[in-house]
A and B are shown apart, each in its own frame.
Chain A
């Protein structure tokens, strides 16, 4: 197990380096590094001083190591707009985004698993057909438009839920969270649903496919032949087997959920990293863009790692292979 863990960690570090190279090339080779890293308002003298200070007169490979060394110390540049370290800006907004993404993921599981289970167990019932048609819609609906429609119906027409913002937050572990207050939950509900729409469809489809496949397995029939109650056959024998692919995919999707929160945060004016990155792109605050990119890469790799480990806990066969190697 520890060998496996070590190997996965090494792989992760390798990918971080590869991505840092890509980001570096993206920023320094494709774009004009001066334009990206130095405020456009700076005059000629300031520019030259900055170029020297940033080491932009060095050969590219040396620049890369300088960039890498700074990045490792947590220095990813300063925002032109806020005149604050880009990393701090992003970390400040991260809890809001994470909260939203986790909320959406949990919602996708809470809604998607039962619906998928039902559609898998009763594939020919009208309700199952409706669920599957709904999941096609969930894949096709543009997220931002659904967000607008949710605001229109629940905030404007019915007035049940607040349309924008995060609402009052409360501190936990030194960070501000919405889900700890009732009002904050009310603010979070619509964005979370909006963000989870695609995942719900995904979970429904995965669960249904898993159920349809698992239910035909001999071990399910054997479980029935043992005289187990249907609830236990479905709840333990079928469910635990379909949980593996579903958890894997949903976990891997957490990264893309965080990425897609860009859209949802823009629609609902949710003060997270996604809103920040869109604003930064619109005013070309490129240090923030670079920092965001690196943070996202790190997040992705961490998520992949955690999913792999969870997978090995859920599926004993993987655990054995891991031990063997």
Chain B
């Protein structure tokens, strides 16, 4: 529906002002930019992602390299100059790890676990959702029963159980996150695909006797993309928060390569003696990341939701 409407809308616009052709993408960009808050969220997220990607080159220290850590610099307040000669702007943790570097490296883990699990969950969920919508009947009801069951169970609990059976470790965290989140994608894709399936262009594809996989992935899937992008954005934020929570509980990433959640957990015991920064700053980084993604996701939902479009 939205694409048809877009196509129709584009023709008179092009006729009126040939120098500025309004493509669906341009329209999407300009509508997204209507919210300054969302733009701010996007900018902040870009900064966070950049800091994470460039961490090995811009971080003052490699926090995973124990040789670089000086235990004498442990639990230093933010702003003190350490033995290595540079300033610990955000202080150090108990092992003398520079918190700023720790946060940048921790962001790498948090973001890649979040994005990676969201991507895999998206692939799995979207495929199953497409299958459910396309096959219908028993396949559909079996998949959707599983979805219902999964969604009725709180994510944290399901993840805890899976980790309890599989054990700790980054890979197992990713598996747990995927198992917890695939259902959202499956439900979204199935809903959209069921609507799209009855449209003329799918019937036309059937008439041309195109192979099933081609109809599924070249015709149906692209039309399910907008809602999928919205769900995906929100799920990345959720995955990051969940990973942090699991790591905080000691069930996530190994202690040698701490993510943000583990950094916060490490600071827990020192906080009671007033050394707040070990937990505080990683939490702020986590908060900024999640809020910025949510702001972008909120606006994406408004822009990409055909029901809200006039």
Contacts and interface: CB of A to CB of B under 8 A. Distances in A.
A149 B164 CA distance: 28
B154 A259 contact: yes
Interface string B294-310: 11001000000000000
Q: Which range contains the number of A residues in contact with the other chain? A: 35 or more
Contacts of B291: 136-137, 140
Interface in B76-91: none
B248 A144 contact: yes
Interface string B246-287: 001111000000000100100110011110100110010011
Contacts of A145: 244, 264, 279, 283, 286-287
Interface residues of B, number: 38
Contacts of A136: 291, 294-295, 298
Q: Is the interface of A mostly helix, strand, loop or mixed?
A: helix
A267 B261 CA distance: 13
A140 B154 contact: no
Interface in B227-244: 237, 241, 244
B154 A281 contact: no
Given A140-B287, A145-B264, A152 B271 contact: yes
B308 to A, nearest CB: 14
A136 B293 CA distance: 12
**Considering the complex of A and B, which 9 residue pairs feature the smallest CB-CB distances, nearest first?**
A145-B283, A256-B154, A259-B154, A259-B157, A140-B290, A281-B164, A140-B291, A144-B248, A31-B165
A260 interface: yes
Contacts of A199: none
A151 B248 CA distance: 16
Interface in A21-41: 22, 26-27, 30-31
Given A148-B268, A281-B164, A300-B152, A156 B274 contact: yes
A263 B156 contact: yes
B161 A262 contact: no
Interface of A: 18, 22, 26-27, 30-31, 136-137, 139-145, 148-149, 151-152, 155-157, 163, 255-256, 259-260, 262-263, 266-267, 277-278, 281-282, 284, 286, 289, 293, 296, 300, 304
A39 to B, nearest CB: 17
Q: Is the interface of B mostly helix, strand, loop or mixed?
A: helix
Given A139-B294, A282-B250, A144 B245 contact: yes
A296 B272 contact: no
B39 interface: no
B156 to A, nearest CB: 6
Contact of B165 (A30, A151, A267): A30
Contacts of B152: 300, 304
A163 B268 CA distance: 12
Given A152-B276, A259-B156, A281-B251, A289 B161 contact: yes
Given A26-B165, A255-B154, A281-B160, A142 B294 contact: no
B269 to A, nearest CB: 11
B264 A148 contact: yes
A142 B241 contact: yes
Contacts of A286: 164
A290 B258 CA distance: 29
Given A31-B165, A148-B271, A152-B276, A262 B160 contact: yes
B276 to A, nearest CB: 5
